[in-house]
Structure 1
Amino acid sequence: MKAVCVSNFNYYDRRIKYMQAYLESKDYEVHYITGDYDTMNRQMYTLTLPRVIQLPLIQYKKNISFERIYSHYHFAKAMYEQLLKLKPDVIYAMVPPNFVSYFIRKYKKKYPKTIILFDVFDMWPETYPLPTKPLLRLPFKLWQHLRTKSLNYADAVLSECQMFEHHLKSLQSHQRIHTLYPCQLSSHHHIDYTEKDNKWSVCYLGSINNIIDIEHIYRLLGEMAKIKPVHLHIIGNGEKIEEFIQKMQTICVAVRHHGNVYCDEEKQHIFNQCAFGINVLKSSVFIGLTLKTIDYLKGGLPLLNTVQGDTKHMVETHQIGINVCQLDTLANTLSSLTPENIMTMKKQSRYVFEQYFSEDNYMKQLDMLLTQMGVQL
């Protein structure tokens, strides 16, 4: 039996490799179709994985551009041609790009016995702040419809969070949509925290781009600075990194930019110096869970959070940080915290990671959800 996994953005380590392991446990020969260009770091890459097919991607610089749309279309069409050659029994595809779902829908019509699994890991265009004028919103609505209609042809649809699941079900009566949280390998690195020099040490992890709320982060750190000085650690880069650093330097006593950090041990060393991880996006962004959230929790770092849906609920239910959409009462909340309170939240954060986002939980949930949706592999 043959299966194909598809990811335009090469999310192999984030999602694909776990699905591949699951399919291989069911005796499938798994092929992987992806691109050859890292859109985050703007550079070419080559994979050495077995049975991988890297399709040449048309490069683009802006996330909202005709070049990006055409690049996605070009990849999806080339993917379709590869599927016609491979003739798989199972196709697992990460969406977006929405064109991927369109061409797999086309393949399903041609080969209706093929089992189709869509994994919606982002909501485009919903995640992007939409224009206010109805006419300008029309292309985004058409883009959304392209994905939504295609999902009806799937045997099962997995969503990255419950917020996405509820939204997709509101757009159509497709009942085979269930949440399967992303996972990572468990961490065995020690969690620690010692307050130094009577300062707040906080971390921002991830890309500095157009969906994070720089102004809200600035005001958030300003409220913290009313209690004691703030030392900000930044792990990551992005198109707005210079603007971000310059603005935060006006409110923080120190800003340290670590750049991209891929070593878990090095990342844990930074997390252990910090009391909180900043998880702040613009209120217009439609998302219930970020990958940086999972990174923070894996590292035992409580959240300063504005992300709605699943993340907001977890913060409230499991005491793994503070929801900071409203900053009026933040100073009072923070001033009552002791280092012991923070250490308790750190341990609870790691516990929540193991309960929801570990590889073991992923495999158990995947097996259960496919059974519930009547999919037999």
Structure 2
Amino acid sequence: KLYFDVNDLWPEALPIRNFEWLPVFTAWKRLRDKNLPAADQVFVECELFLEGLKPDREYTVLHFARSQRPMPIHTRLNPETVDLVYLGSINNIIDINLIRNITKAIVKIKPTRFHIIGEGETKARLISELNDTGAQVIDHGILFDPEEKQKVFDQCDYGLNIVKPNVMVGLTMKSLDYMIGGLPMLNSIGGDTEKLVREYDLGFNVDRSHLEDLAREICEENPEKAFSRRYNMQKVYMDFFSEETFFNTLDEAGL
């Protein structure tokens, strides 16, 4: 038996659109589309990828998963501030302009602290843009230890899951970290994540045209409702992205 697992779409996932039809990029696409029909079964990381693949066969959605159990939630939120966190690689697919504009809208209403866990080639620019908004930037560097990350998450109201609008991404690994830690999201990713946030009340899907409304909702939201989202995040993780769910999907596929 031959099985394929599609974890990214290239060139569709490139953060730029001016160069995706160059021969080197189209060769990737042709290689993929030519050989997928040879497989006995094809798994895809998320439903969004079905839009970029030829609908001439049946695909099985196999979300990536973690073996980690959800972390205990011991929030230490400061009611006088809004605390945001960005976790992960700070690279050219994250939308720094949108992160800046979200933060700027919140700062106008309430003092804001922005935590950063991670490194990357655009980190200096991100910090500079955030400083310009008036937010207090707290750089934690790289944290691998789950308990250390959780100490930061417990201080924060939302984790940012923000990428540029032309990037074809349906799920991110950072969103699993947020789920494990019970940290609601501010999300700009379409497809699977947008649907989960909407249907299971995991935070807010960001409307780029109404950031002032988003900031007002964040600053004025009911604390009990905000706290319930933390448990929603962990339940969605266990239902869709746990190791048990992963292997159950493989069992149902006959592996």
Q: Quick one: which amino acid aligns to residue 78 of structure 2?
A: K
- Matched pairs, number: 253
Query: Given the superposition, is the C-alpha separation of residues 242 and 130 from structure 1 closer, same or farther in structure 2, using an over 3 Å criterion?
Result: closer
Please say which structure displays the higher CA radius of gyration.
1
Query: Offset at 1:227?
Result: 1.8
Contact 2:102 2:215 in 1 (8 A): no
Residues 1:140 and 2:22 are matched in the alignment: no
Query: Offset at 1:133?
Result: 7.0
Please show how residues 209-248 of structure 1 align to structure 2 within 5 Å. Answer: 209-248=91-130
Matched with 1:310 is 192
* Partner residue of 1:167 out of 37, 40, 52: 52
Contact 1:119 1:160 in 2 (8 A): yes
Matched with 1:150 is 35
Matched with 1:119 is 5
Contact 1:231 1:252 in 2 (8 A): no
Query: Offset at 1:256?
Result: 1.4
Query: Given the superposition, is the C-alpha separation of residues 133 and 257 from structure 1 closer, same or farther in structure 2, using an over 3 Å criterion?
Result: closer
* Partner residue of 1:257 out of 105, 120, 139: 139
* Partner residue of 1:338 out of 222, 229, 232: 222
Query: Given the superposition, is the C-alpha separation of residues 294 and 252 from structure 1 closer, same or farther in structure 2, using an over 3 Å criterion?
Result: farther
* Partner residue of 1:129 out of 5, 15, 24: 15
Query: Given the superposition, is the C-alpha separation of residues 328 and 227 from structure 1 closer, same or farther in structure 2, using an over 3 Å criterion?
Result: closer
Contact 2:157 2:183 in 1 (8 A): yes
Residues 1:357 and 2:231 are matched in the alignment: no
Query: Offset at 1:197?
Result: 5.7
Contact 1:232 1:254 in 2 (8 A): yes
Contact 2:15 2:92 in 1 (8 A): no
Alpha-carbon distance in 1 for matches of 2:16, 2:98: 19
Matched with 2:151 is 269
Runs of 4+ in structure 1 deviating by more than 6 angstroms, as ranges, are: none
Query: Offset at 1:344?
Result: 0.8
Query: Offset at 1:130?
Result: 3.9
Alpha-carbon distance in 1 for matches of 2:74, 2:31: 47
Matched with 1:64 is none
Contact 1:128 1:285 in 2 (8 A): yes
Query: Offset at 1:359?
Result: 0.7
Matched with 1:112 is none
Deviations 1:315-364 (A, max 9, x none): 10000010113224213322331332221111111111111111111111
Alpha-carbon distance in 1 for matches of 2:17, 2:233: 36
Deviations 1:225-259 (A, max 9, x none): 12211111111111111111121122243211112
Structure 1: state its 5+ residue gaps.
1-114, 372-376
Matched with 2:201 is 319
Contact 1:195 1:339 in 2 (8 A): no
Residues 1:347 and 2:235 are matched in the alignment: no
Query: Given the superposition, is the C-alpha separation of residues 234 and 217 from structure 1 closer, same or farther in structure 2, using an over 3 Å criterion?
Result: same
Alpha-carbon distance in 1 for matches of 2:30, 2:55: 10
Structure 2: state its 5+ residue gaps.
none
The share of aligned pairs that are identical, in percent, is 36
Contact 1:130 1:137 in 2 (8 A): no
Alpha-carbon distance in 2 for matches of 1:245, 1:233: 10
Higher relative contact order (CA 8 A, sep 6+): 2
Q: Quick one: which amino acid aligns to residue 196 of structure 1?
A: N
Alpha-carbon distance in 2 for matches of 1:155, 1:163: 21
Query: Given the superposition, is the C-alpha separation of residues 252 and 360 from structure 1 closer, same or farther in structure 2, using an over 3 Å criterion?
Result: farther
Deviations 1:44-97 (A, max 9, x none): xxxxxxxxxxxxxxxxxxxxxxxxxxxxxxxxxxxxxxxxxxxxxxxxxxxxxx
Query: Offset at 1:160?
Result: 0.7
Matched with 1:208 is 90
Query: Offset at 1:132?
Result: 3.4
Q: TM-score with structure 2 length normalisation?
A: 0.93
